[in-house]
């Protein structure tokens, strides 16, 4: 009974709040029948008379008016004397937002200007998340409101942070506002070095959040409205001013992870445990790096893991020396690119003659793996349904063989294995799986081709070669022969794949050539049969004496009679 009574009281309060909200809305809608200053007094007076919150979010009447985009009424309420509007200007709703937060969120510059003119301290007020109105203006891309608040609060407001340590530059990047982010970075370059509570810089936020993964890799002509150009300018500015000493160990020939500069002492304490948890075995799919991004990791490394080739290449263009820096695990960006199969990044580093050649001969710490060993130890193909994915692995390995010096081909790592031996060991299961899938696919397709050949051989075309149907007859007869030949050749190739015992090197050229040729011939066969049957239908419909028929079935024998010999 007590619970039932409490529920009824809560319901009653909710109904009262709803009634209060409707009363105020009716007052607000009276703007056409009286001046705004009079309406403002009436609305505020009605709220004071009721003495209850307008809604469950504890909004003031000014919150509601601004959110409803009643600009003139909002300005009139702001201009009321203090004895009438009392604490409306500084009122905070459930989320801690003041009316200026709401005005900044919806981009109402006129209301924002009136608010800061009446009470400049509103520019410094923070909500429960620690956001100032400036954060709200940047978050929703309202530069006009941003300029108004900065003009009143001063440039020192740009350095204010949220409860999570985010600056306005973080917010602009996180909310897909590259134009605003570029403007902020140019006006307040000191924000480029800032980090949030997790240690993420604006450059890293740009790498992870919204718009960068949408940028196409190779597009010559881009839409003028696209954010790509602005994003590239922002990236260049961030890279030029980013403090990369936070991430890297610098130029050193010592490949041991135990050697580091003093700047890394604090960071390494928190990184060693995370490094120990990282799984370097990629198995048959791309590594799941989404949940393993560390903000103390170099943006180059994180960009390679996320597959942001444009991001990494652009950074290397602006500051190519970063390719020589080491991560906390002692690897450079080239080794990480090889590990994750980023061919464009590898070729960009190779073609940069400014970079030292020792990058191609550098050894992986703790394992003494060369670039070839790293490529052999990891699998770049993620499509397990592709029976030719071993070809991609072989092509990737052979491409790296052309890049590294020849004397490293037979180099042995700490396990006393060459790169080729590591490749054979790592891809033994892949070879077996590709064999089974290829034979299974070839077996299924060959059975269907056999059915097509058997069925199509029973079709006989006859015509009286009249002038009006001669062309259709020629097309159908010739195309039919081509289709029959292609089907037979494709069947032979697929049966050969079923009976063939493949070796690993066969997947480099022989098997793909045979498989792709069989598929090509099968496609030509299907197209040819479709064209031939279309012509046969035409002859059958539009020719009086020519038709396309199948052999007539045998007549049943009468019962009790033996056919003559």
Residues 337 and 388 in one domain: yes
- The helix/strand count (H/E) of the chain reads as 25, 2
Q: Are 145 and 108 in contact (CB under 8 A)?
A: yes
Question: Is 186 buried (19+), middle (13-18) or exposed (0-12) by CB count in 10 A?
Answer: exposed
Residues 417 and 444 in one domain: no
What tokens appear for 174 in the block? 């996180």
467 lies in which domain range? Answer: 433-549
Nearest Cα to Cα of residue 111 among 148, 79, 74, 139: 74
Q: Are 92 and 53 in contact (CB under 8 A)?
A: no
Q: Break the chain down into helix, strand, coil percent, rounded to 5.
A: 60, 0, 35
User: What pLDDT is stored for residue 23 in this prediction?
Assistant: 67
Q: Is residue 533 part of a domain?
A: yes
- SS3 for 266-278, per residue? HHHHHHHHHHHHC
Out of 160, 176, 208, pick the residue that ends a domain: 160
Q: Which residues of 286-303 are buried (b: 16+ CB within 10 A; e: fewer)?
A: ebeeeeebbbbbbbbbbb
Residues 481 and 371 in one domain: no
Q: Which residues of 110-140 are buried (b: 16+ CB within 10 A; e: fewer)?
A: ebbbbbbeebeebbbbbbeeebbbbbbbbbb
CA–CA gap between residue 391 and residue 31 (Å, rounded): 74
- Other beta carbons within 10 angstroms of residue 199's beta carbon come to 15
Q: Is residue 562 part of a domain?
A: no
The CATH number given to whatever domain includes residue 67 is 1.25.40.20
Out of 411, 426, 441, pick the residue that ends a domain: 426
What tokens appear for 377 in the block? 């130890």
Residues 258 and 395 in one domain: yes
Q: Is residue 234 part of a domain?
A: no
Residues 439 and 517 in one domain: yes
3-class SS of residue 462: strand
Q: Is residue 53 part of a domain?
A: yes
Helix axes 389-403, 419-426, angle to 10 degrees: 170
Out of 145, 160, 175, pick the residue that ends a domain: 160
Contacts of 177 (CB under 8 A, 6+ apart): 138, 139, 141
Residues 448 and 418 in one domain: no
Indicate the Cα dihedral angle 417, 418, 420, 422, nearest 10°. 30
What pairs with residue 549 in β-bridges? 460
> DSSP assignment, residue 77?
H
Residues 347 and 492 in one domain: no
Q: Are 300 and 340 in contact (CB under 8 A)?
A: no
CA–CA gap between residue 538 and residue 240 (Å, rounded): 70
End-to-end C-alpha distance for the chain, whole angstroms: 103
Q: Is residue 140 part of a domain?
A: yes
Residue 491: alpha-carbon gap to chain centroid: 41
> DSSP assignment, residue 413?
-
Nearest Cα to Cα of residue 338 among 370, 295, 292: 370
Indicate the Cα dihedral angle 402, 403, 408, 412, nearest 10°. -90
User: What pLDDT is stored for residue 262 in this prediction?
Assistant: 38
- Other beta carbons within 10 angstroms of residue 185's beta carbon come to 21
Residues 12 and 135 in one domain: yes
Nearest Cα to Cα of residue 187 among 213, 157, 215: 157
What pairs with residue 548 in β-bridges? 461
* Domains contained in the chain, number: 3
Per-residue pLDDT of the chain (565 residues; tens, 9 = 90+): 444 544 444 544 444 555 666 766 666 666 556 777 777 887 787 777 777 777 888 888 899 889 988 888 899 889 888 777 767 888 999 999 999 999 999 999 999 999 999 988 899 999 999 999 999 999 898 989 999 999 888 888 888 999 889 999 999 988 888 888 999 999 998 998 888 888 888 888 888 775 454 444 444 434 444 577 788 888 888 888 766 665 554 333 333 333 333 333 333 344 434 434 443 333 334 434 444 456 777 888 888 888 888 889 988 888 888 888 888 788 899 999 999 989 999 999 998 888 888 888 899 888 899 999 999 988 766 666 677 888 888 889 999 999 999 999 999 999 999 999 999 898 888 888 888 888 888 899 888 888 877 777 666 555 554 455 577 777 887 888 888 889 899 999 999 888 888 788 888 888 889 999 999 999 999 898 888 888 877 777 765 544 444 444 445 545 545 455 4
Residues 405 and 472 in one domain: no
Residues 48 and 152 in one domain: yes
Sequence-separated contacts (24+) of 136-140 with Cβ below 8 Å: 136/101, 136/104, 136/105, 137/104, 137/105, 137/107, 137/112, 138/168, 138/171, 138/172, 138/175, 138/177, 138/180, 138/184, 139/105, 139/171, 139/172, 139/175, 139/177, 140/104, 140/105, 140/106, 140/107, 140/175
Nearest Cα to Cα of residue 184 among 170, 203, 195: 170
CA–CA gap between residue 242 and residue 123 (Å, rounded): 29
Q: Is residue 218 part of a domain?
A: no
Residues 447 and 418 in one domain: no
CA–CA gap between residue 464 and residue 472 (Å, rounded): 12
Residues 438 and 415 in one domain: no
Q: Is residue 327 part of a domain?
A: yes
User: What pLDDT is stored for residue 308 in this prediction?
Assistant: 85
């Amino acid at each position: 009974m007590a619970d039932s009574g409490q529920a009824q009281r809560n319901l009653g309060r909710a109904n009262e709040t709803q009634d209060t909200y409707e009363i105020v809305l009716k007052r607000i809608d009276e703007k056409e029948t009286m001046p705004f200053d009079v309406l403002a007094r009436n609305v505020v007076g009605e709220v004071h008379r009721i003495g209850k919150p307008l809604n469950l979010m504890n909004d003031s009447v000014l919150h509601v008016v601004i959110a409803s985009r009643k600009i003139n009424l909002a300005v009139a309420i702001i201009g009321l004397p203090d004895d009438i509007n009392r604490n409306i200007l500084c009122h905070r709703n459930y989320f801690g937002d003041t009316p200026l937060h709401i005005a900044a969120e919806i981009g109402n510059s006129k209301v924002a200007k009136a608010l800061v003119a009446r009470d400049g301290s509103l520019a410094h007020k923070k909500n429960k998340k620690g956001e100032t109105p400036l954060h709200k203006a940047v978050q929703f891309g309202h530069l006009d409101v941003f300029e108004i608040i900065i003009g009143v609060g001063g440039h020192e407001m740009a350095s204010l942070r949220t409860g999570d340590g985010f600056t306005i530059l973080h917010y602009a990047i996180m909310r897909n506002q590259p134009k605003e982010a570029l403007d902020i970075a140019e006006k307040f370059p000191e924000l480029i070095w800032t980090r949030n509570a997790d240690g993420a810089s604006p450059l890293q936020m740009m790498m992870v959040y919204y718009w960068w993964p949408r940028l196409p890799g190779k597009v010559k002509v881009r839409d003028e409205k696209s954010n790509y150009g602005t994003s590239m300018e922002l990236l260049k500015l961030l890279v030029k001013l980013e403090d990369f000493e936070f991430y890297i160990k610098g130029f050193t020939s010592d490949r041991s992870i135990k050697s580091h500069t003093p700047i890394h002492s604090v960071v390494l304490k928190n990184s060693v445990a995370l490094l120990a948890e990282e799984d370097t075995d990629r198995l048959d799919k791309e590594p799941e790096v989404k949940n393993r991004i560390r903000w103390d990791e170099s943006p180059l490394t994180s960009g390679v893991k996320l597959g942001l080739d444009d991001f990494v290449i652009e950074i290397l263009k602006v500051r190519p020396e970063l390719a020589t820096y080491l991560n906390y695990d002692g690897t450079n960006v080239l080794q990480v690119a090889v590990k994750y199969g980023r061919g464009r990044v590898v070729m960009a580093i190779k073609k940069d003659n400014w970079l030292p050649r020792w990058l191609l001969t550098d050894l992986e710490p703790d394992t003494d793996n060369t670039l070839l060993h790293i490529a052999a130890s990891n699998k770049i193909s993620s499509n397990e349904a592709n029976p030719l994915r071993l070809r991609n692995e072989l092509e990737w390995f052979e491409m790296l063989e052309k890049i590294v010096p020849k004397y490293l081909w037979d180099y042995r790592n700490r396990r006393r294995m060459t790169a080729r031996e590591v490749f054979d060991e790592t891809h033994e299961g892949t070879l077996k799986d590709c064999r089974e899938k290829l034979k299974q696919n070839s077996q299924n397709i060959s059975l269907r081709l056999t059915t097509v050949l058997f069925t199509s051989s029973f079709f006989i075309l006859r015509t009286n070669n009249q002038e009006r149907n001669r062309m259709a007859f020629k097309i159908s007869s010739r195309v039919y022969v081509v289709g029959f030949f292609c089907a037979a050749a494709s069947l032979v190739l697929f049966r050969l794949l079923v009976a063939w015992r493949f070796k690993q090197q066969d997947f480099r050229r022989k098997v793909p050539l045979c498989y792709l040729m069989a598929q090509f011939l099968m496609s030509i066969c299907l197209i040819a049969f479709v064209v031939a049957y279309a012509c046969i239908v035409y002859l059958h419909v539009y020719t009086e004496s020519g038709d396309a028929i199948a052999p007539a079935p045998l007549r049943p024998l009468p019962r009790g009679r033996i056919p003559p010999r």
